[in-house]
């Protein structure tokens, strides 16, 4: 994914012990010559991605089902409140 992703937003996930430390993932990026941002939660990472995205950008969420489900829940909550 390194060749197609321009900006990495890494969420620190603290509510499950199986999640990798965000700092560890950030170090993996740096070791591959990439940069990223470490955010305190999945919601903060999504907000940062949305704030920095332009009309031509795509936001891709990946990781565990836990991560994807959290983002889907955020989106569904926003849609249902409109």
* 57's tokens: 């950008």
Written as one string, the DSSP assignment of 50-69 is HHH--TT------S-HHHHH
Q: What mean pLDDT comes out for the span 44-71?
A: 94
Tell me, which fold does domain 8-81 have in CATH? 3.90.190
32: helix, coil or strand? coil
> pLDDT tens digit string along 11-37?
998 777 777 888 989 999 999 999 999
**Is residue 62 within 8 Å of 68, Cβ to Cβ?**
yes
Every domain of the chain and the residues it spans: 8-81
pLDDT band per the 50, 70, 90 thresholds, residue 1: confident
**In the Cβ-directed half-sphere of 11, how many Cα atoms lie within 13 Å?**
23
| ∠ Cα 50 7 30 (to 5°) | 145
């Amino acid at each position: 994914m390194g060749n197609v992703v321009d900006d990495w937003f890494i969420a620190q996930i603290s509510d499950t012990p199986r999640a990798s430390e965000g700092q560890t993932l950030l170090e993996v990026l740096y070791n591959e010559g990439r940069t990223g941002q470490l955010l305190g939660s999945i919601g903060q990472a999504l907000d940062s991605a949305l704030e920095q995205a332009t009309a031509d950008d795509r936001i891709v969420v990946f990781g565990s089902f836990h991560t994807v489900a959290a983002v889907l829940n955020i989106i569904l909550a926003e849609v249902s409140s409109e």
